Amino acid sequence: MISAGELDQELTILSPGGTGTDDLNQPIEDWTNPVIVATIRAGRDTVRGREFYEARAALGEDVERFVTRHVPQLTRRHRLRDSAGTVYRIEAIDDSEGRNRKMTITVTKLEAGGG
């Protein structure tokens, strides 16, 4: 179980504000006005060493990780925004214990400062 003291980050779960179609009539999600789904507490779990380089090679970007209590509505379709306004794309959600108590969320940074 995660202690409350470890959850020192406030994250907002975002959902697309709508959907539309591109020039080829393919569906796209509209993130210009995202909908706030929930606000959760999480702890930042630093990706280090070999694991960092492997993740960066696989995703081609800097990778970060958050650990939180189980959030049943959270999916890879959502995005996360921290209190500084940085928005993250969810790359993976792991319930390694398989008990719906703790989640490890692997993310990549999309934008900083709300812009």
Tell me: the pLDDT tens digits for 55-103? 555 555 678 899 998 898 999 999 999 999 999 999 999 987 777 788 9
Tell me: the pLDDT tens digits for 18-46? 888 888 988 888 888 899 999 999 998 87
Structural domains of the chain, ranges and CATH numbers in brackets: 4-111 (2.40.10.270)
Radius of gyration of the chain (CA): 15
